[in-house]
Structure 1
């Protein structure tokens, strides 16, 4: 009971501070937010040795907990990834500030002049697991969009997140913005997750970043609205009209570049006509690269493949494993994805415009691609600088959630002594 009481008191303190900070951020000058993010980027670069040391402690903790190689990869920071954090902060800093943007404007016969204007949501709660870079990405995007944020990192990334958060606070301080604009929950206590999910008086929306267990928990228990995707069950469909060399390059990249991210390909669908023309070359490439391909039918003849279990289709492996299946044309692929997909990202490999158009029109995933790797399902690759997550719901935000998606709008209505008849 004591832990629950402490957690409740802590979220009330953090929430009250965030509300006060959000009230100031709502009208903070765009230049001040830009300066804060540039100063934070410099602080991350200057403090990289301390961040790497903190990450070393987290990696030891993760190894002791028995994290999978994919999870350890998500957790790991090196010089290149820290420089990626720096570049992400700079990219967000230099983006157009969405707050105050006039989305639409019109006049009414009554004499009213009406504007629909972007405005911050308020306080964002971000709950994430092992990726410490989320501390910077989420903090930056919330600040850019005029929102305060309460960050609850995973127990695995506890030390790394604290070190990165210190740099974010340094940036706020340098720009004269409230330090409570970006707060990090200072405890590993799991009770804080429950308290955040119930904190409707302090938090306006929750964004979970992590595996199926975390996201499912948030979606089941949250009283606060949620932007989330449950799983990244991403498909690639190789059409009869696919260019063979393009297809081989894209499929390998989509599965093997980084297996632990939500944009990794989890299921390869091969048009029967493609298979008859080229054989199982795409599956052979994957097996040769060290991927365990779980399949059925003719594809099981490929040495190194294994029989797929019923639940392997519609499964997020986040590992050097994928499912593969032969389908009858684009309609077969569409039917499979509708049944097993998670509305995240799907890609079609084809040189036929009509087939690509049918794939785009008849599927409703948040991101649909043509002749491109699903690993591009990322806010940074979309030119957003960073993302706070990929939303697969249909309300408010879909796909990469950047600064613009973290705003809502209000109506500004002006008259001249105007009255309603």
Structure 2
């Protein structure tokens, strides 16, 4: 099926989705979750073929991002069930005003219509995105990366079966078959078919969508995330936070890419950081972290000298930029110059420094004494997420159901004229 044909099918199904009641949509989601588990073997077989094709062409970190397992599929199914438990945003009256004329104006949440998502090699995004778009009353068009296409196709086949089983149109969920750049361009310029486009992937994908799309786009995802270790930090806490933020899953957008350390503790803290992230991890059989150091850090510990672009790079790997700064003010200034507006953290016992950081750092999520890895729809209580918006208009941070709706004004009168 061509991309245009599936867009036409999705547009044809959006009316039925907009009219579907909460219970209908929830029943469909539960059936989709069941179908995922029923088709587990087929999904794992498809995923194995994707892994074999990708092995040797992508890093081990990216292979982990691509890989599925029975546990990950169970997690995907659970994520869909959690979306079914969330309040339905459609029809929510966001604001109600009764005017002197007697008209009643209600600002009411309504579905977007057709939501298209372009994403890369993360098969779990397939089910997350479908569940959220459908619960928000919209049809969903998915365009995954070529590395995960077999996996995505098997997942979508199961999800469509669940939709049909619950009595909603299978055409409300579409997977683009063409994984070349041409299909991405078609979605970006599908005016009249796509009501909202969400790119979820690396900086190149997001920039291409922002620069070339003629349909509305939400900019998401690129995460050059910082952790600033203040002079008044609990250093044991800082080490725990940094190892979690960098190493728990380095291939995701909320992983820490840069550690900033106050010069007043750099001589004491940086050797601890080096030991924790390199020697200790190697001794535990874990992947050590390559530290890329500015000149001040190089004078204290050994590591790779930071290159010109290392503080402007989303590594998505076991690599961490390290820079020594003169207090919270310089940390804030560095983040302003180099951050992508995703997630930043300060570790400190100094409330004044924390308040300065939280108030002045202009990112979607700012943390005090916690890991940046919490920037996630599930961790924020939104259910699974559509992505992390790094823009300011309409949606910012993890995008859940409310961010996937628009609104319209519904006005009721009794014959008033102006």
TM-score after normalising by structure 1:
0.94
Separation in 1, partners of 2:42, 2:270? 52
The one of 199, 202, 208 equivalent to 2:199 is 208
Structure 1 pair 245–98 and aligned structure 2 pair: CA distance change class (3 A): same
Equivalent in the alignment of 2:359: 361
Corresponding position of 1:287: 278
User: What is the aligned partner in structure 2 of residue 218 from structure 1?
Assistant: 209
SS of the residue 2:19 aligns to: coil
Find 2:128's aligned residue among 119, 134, 137. Answer: 137
Among 246, 268, 274, the alignment partner of 2:265 is: 274
Which sections of structure 1, spanning at least 5 residues, go unmatched? 1-8
Superposed, which structure 2 residues align to 1:334-373 within 5 Å?
334-373=332-371
1:190: which partner in 2? 181
SS in 1 for 2:409: strand
CA contact (8 A) 1:287 1:305 kept: no
Which stretch has the larger CA shift, 308-317 or 333-342? 308-317
Q: Which residue of 2 aligns with 1:6?
A: none
Tell me, what secondary structure is at the counterpart of 1:55? helix
Per the TM alignment, residue 279 of structure 1 is displaced from its structure 2 partner at its CA by 5.1
**In 1, Cα distance between the equivalents of 2:294 and 2:178?**
47
Change (3 A) 1:230 1:401: closer
Ranges in structure 2 where 5+ consecutive residues have no aligned partner: 282-287
Mapped to 2, the partners of 1:165 and 1:29 lie a distance apart of: 22
Q: Take 2:203 and 2:367, find their aligned partners in 1: how far apart are those partners?
A: 24
Work out the CA distance in 1 between the residues paired with 2:250 and 2:164.
38
Question: Matched residue of 2:76: which SS?
Answer: helix
Aligned mates of 1:331, 1:90 — CA distance in 2: 44
Residue matched to 1:29:
21
> 1:279, 1:48 → 2: CA distance?
46
Tell me if structure 2 keeps the 8 A contact 1:22–1:147: yes
Compute the displacement of 1:277 (Å). Answer: 5.5
Specify which of 146, 160, 172 is matched with residue 151 of structure 2: 160
Bigger mean CA deviation after superposition, 287-296 or 391-400: 287-296
RMSD over aligned CA atoms reads 1.5
Give the stretch that moved more between structures: 331-340 or 297-306: 297-306
CA 1:253/1:163 → structure 2, altered by over 3 Å: closer, same or farther?
same
SS state of the match for residue 408, structure 1? strand
Deviation string, structure 1 residues 34-87 (Cα, Å, up to 9, x no partner): 0111111111112211111110000011115x1112221110111221111011
Asked if 1:397 is matched to 2:389, the reply is no
Q: Which residue of 2 aligns with 1:3?
A: none
Q: Conserved in 1, the CA contact under 8 Å of 2:270 and 2:297?
A: no
**In the alignment, which residue of structure 1 is the partner of 2:168?**
177
Cα distance change on mapping 1:201 and 1:377 into 2, 3 Å: same
The equivalent residue for 2:412 is 414
Q: Secondary structure at the match of 1:310?
A: coil
2:381 aligned residue (363, 377, 383): 383
What TM-score comes out, normalization by structure 2 length?
0.95
Q: What is the distance in 2 between the residues matched to 1:121 and 1:309?
A: 44
Distance 1:306 1:130 in 2: 29
- Correspondence for 1:319: 317
Paired residue for 1:87? 78
* 1:100/1:118 contact within 8 Å kept: yes
Greater Cα offset, 284-293 or 395-404: 284-293
CA contact (8 A) 2:221 2:387 kept: no
Q: Given the alignment of the two structures, is residue 12 of structure 1 paired with residue 10 of structure 2, yes or no?
A: no
- Give me the whole-angstrom Cα distance separating, in 1, the residues matched to 2:312 and 2:198: 23
